[in-house]
A = this chain, B = another copy of it.
């Protein structure tokens, strides 16, 4: 009954006639002795199929070489892009990403964040709906940490954010220039930071343009919720609908067309995020382009800095870029 199925440091050391310390040094490139010794050890290691146990190594070193990424919903293309950027950048520096999907349950997020963080060296936290109180409490437990999509008033941690208010404002202004005056806004999840910011942007817009009216409608974050909101949009008697994001816009457009209206002829529709599909939708979506992959990359840079005791780069507030396509057109 051999318990161990994989070779160990000590085993290699014994067979190569050296000490475990020497094996360790050779495996980590800190060896300064004779070449032939190194060669012999490598040979034995190869024969035994040995490679250092990552767990034991992490314990001794005090670091795992992986970072956690907590997202509300990995099914959302926007978060997938952040993950892609984070994953690539981290990999370039020899680190891995452990994902935790809270499945939109902001109740569980604090626990999930802390627990996941404990398995890694650091955390990238994206929790747009967590209360500030909870967030502050969590942040103290999970450092090093970088915030995505929001900042924390209390605890000072690096963050990468998007200027959602400005983004939706630019979209509204674009439609206003096209002659639109009656708008509908399909809201995202109530209470989420990203929805609140958009509402602020719309408030600014209304203040600037007394001739415009914006009807707030219940929306959501998925294509299905966009579909379901179609009737309400039509009843609202508007000429343009601003969806919370591209997914909602896609769902809305499809349903509206099924109901016999034309987009953009009868109704202009806009999205937000500029997910890859936005350009391939029919009609292609006018939206606010957000560099999510870059966000993931920047999050990594800051995390890496903090992990190495260096000061992180300053926070950034990305300005979404208005991307005009075919789903919007001038009145008349």
- Which residues from B are CB-within-8-Å of A53? 118
Copy count, this protein chain: 2
- B101 close to A99 (CB less than 8 A): no
> B116 near A88 (CB under 8 angstroms)?
no
Binding site for B on A (CB under 8 A): 49, 51, 53-56, 58-59, 64-66, 74-75, 80, 83-84, 87-88, 91, 96-101, 103, 116, 118-119, 141, 223, 250-251, 253-254, 257, 276-277, 279-284
Decide: A280 near B280, CB < 8 A? Known: A96-B119, A97-B99: no
Residues of B within 8 A of A253 (CB): 280, 282
CB A74 to nearest CB in B, in angstroms, measures 6
The 4 A-B pairs with the shortest beta carbon distances in the complex, nearest first, are A282-B282, A54-B118, A250-B280, A55-B59
A88, B59: Cβ atoms under 8 Å? no
> Which residues of B lie under 8 Å from residue A280 when comparing CB positions?
223, 250-251, 253-254, 281
Known interface pairs A51-B118, A280-B254. Does A74 touch B64 (Cβ–Cβ under 8 Å)?
no
Task: Say yes or no: B87 contacts A101, CB within 8 Å.
Answer: yes
Contact residue among B74, B88, B250 (Cβ-Cβ distance under 8 Å from A87): B74
**Contact of B49 with A223 in the complex, beta carbons under 8 Å:** no
Give the residues in chain B near A84, CB-CB below 8 Å: 74-75, 101
Pairs A–B under 8 Å by Cβ, sample size 17: A49-B141, A55-B58, A64-B119, A75-B276, A88-B103, A91-B101, A96-B98, A96-B116, A96-B119, A98-B98, A223-B277, A250-B280, A251-B280, A253-B282, A254-B284, A257-B282, A280-B281
Shortest CB-to-CB span from A116 to chain B, Å, is: 7
Task: Determine whether the beta carbon of B98 is less than 8 Å from that of A66.
Answer: yes
A103 vs B58: C-alpha distance when bound (angstroms): 26
Residues of B within 8 A of A281 (CB): 280-282
Q: A54-B118, A55-B59, A281-B281 are in contact. Are A87 and B75 (CB under 8 A)?
A: no
Report whether B100 and A88 are in contact in the complex, using a CB–CB cutoff of 8 Å.
no
Query: In the bound complex, do residue A80 and residue B88 qualify as a contact, i.e. CB atoms below 8 Å apart?
Result: no
Name the B residues within 8 Å of A257 (CB-CB). Answer: 282
Complex alpha-carbon distance, A59 and B53, angstroms:
9
Contacts of A98 in B (CB 8 A): 66, 96-99
Q: Which of A55, A59, A281 gathers the greatest number of chain B CB atoms within 10 Å?
A: A55
Distance in angstroms from A309 CB to nearest chain B CB is 13
Chain B residues whose C-beta falls within 8 Å of the C-beta of A254 in the assembled complex: 279-280, 282, 284
